[in-house]
Amino acid sequence: MGGVFFYAILFCGAVGLFTGRGEALGTAVLACGEEAVRLGLTLCGSYMVFGGILKVLERGGALRLLSGALRRPMRWLLGPEGRDEAVRQSACANLTANLLGLGGAATPAGLAAMRRMAERAPKGRTTRGMCVFVLCNIAVPQLVPATVLSLRAAAGAARPGDIVLPALLGSLTAAALSVWLSRLCERAWPK
């Protein structure tokens, strides 16, 4: 992961300097910090709001109910790590929130699930459960892609929602493929 960032930046930096774009590159690098703060504050707001809502649901036992109902599918998906109650609750909350298009609610729960899996795994190991879970958060089937719908509606699309089904089919394909391929790769790849 770190390697991807390192070599990408090295390559781009070399190309930029070699083609005489050092000045533009410098401006872009300085601007990106500002952008990070702006975006970070927006995200921080939605994490706080949804984190609060999620905690109310958790205290009321809703996540326990949800994870109980999804026990078998989660075990199938995450393998032995899906047996841990805390992992399962956070993972269920994450996947449900993603399905409903509530990205701000999904991230805190998803990171909690990753932390919990990391606590239980041998140090430094990226386990099968983690890989599958990250892949599920990259190929996210969304029933309500809120951002895109509001963008299309604001621009006056005839039927803003007509992209939902194709998008859902695509993301379901990607998710199924990810899970299947991760099973194949799990055997071949070193931990």
Partner 1 sequence: MSAALLALLAALFGRHRGVDVYAAFVEGAKDGLRTAAQTAPCLCAALLLLAFVRGSGVLEGLEGALRPLFSRLGLEEALLPFLLLRPVSGSASLAALQGLIDRFGPDGAPARMAAALFASSETTLYVASLYLGAAGRKRSRYILPVAFFAWACGAAVTLFALELF
Residues in region 139-168 near partner 1 by CB under 8 A: 139-140, 142, 144-148, 151-152, 155-158, 160, 162-168
Binding status of residue 93 toward partner 1 by CB under 8 A: no
Count of residues in the chain: 191
Say how far apart CA 29 and CA 86 lie, in whole Å: 40
Q: What minimum distance in Å lies between the beta carbon of 109 and partner 1?
A: 9
Binding segment for partner 1 (CB under 8 A), chosen from 52-60, 74-82, 84-92, is 52-60
Binding status of residue 31 toward partner 1 by CB under 8 A: yes
Contact 112, 70 (CB under 8 A): no
Residues in CB range of 130: below 8 A, 6 or more apart: 81, 114, 117, 118, 121
Binding status of residue 35 toward partner 1 by CB under 8 A: yes
Contact 168, 141 (CB under 8 A): yes
Q: Which of residues 65-84 bind partner 1 (CB under 8 A)?
A: none
Q: Tell me which residue of 166, 180, 41, 186 sits closest to 126, measured CA to CA.
A: 186
Q: What minimum distance in Å lies between the beta carbon of 79 and partner 1?
A: 14
Q: What minimum distance in Å lies between the beta carbon of 73 and partner 1?
A: 19
Binding segment for partner 1 (CB under 8 A), chosen from 58-66, 69-77, 85-93, is 58-66
Q: What minimum distance in Å lies between the beta carbon of 72 and partner 1?
A: 24
Binding status of residue 99 toward partner 1 by CB under 8 A: no
> Around Cβ 77, how many Cβ atoms within 10 Å?
18
Binds partner 1 (CB under 8 A): choice among 60, 68, 73, 80: 60
Number of H helices, E strands in the chain: 9, 0
- Position 13, amino acid: G
DSSP 161: G
Binding status of residue 135 toward partner 1 by CB under 8 A: yes
Question: Total binding residues for partner 1 by CB under 8 A?
Answer: 103
DSSP 122: P
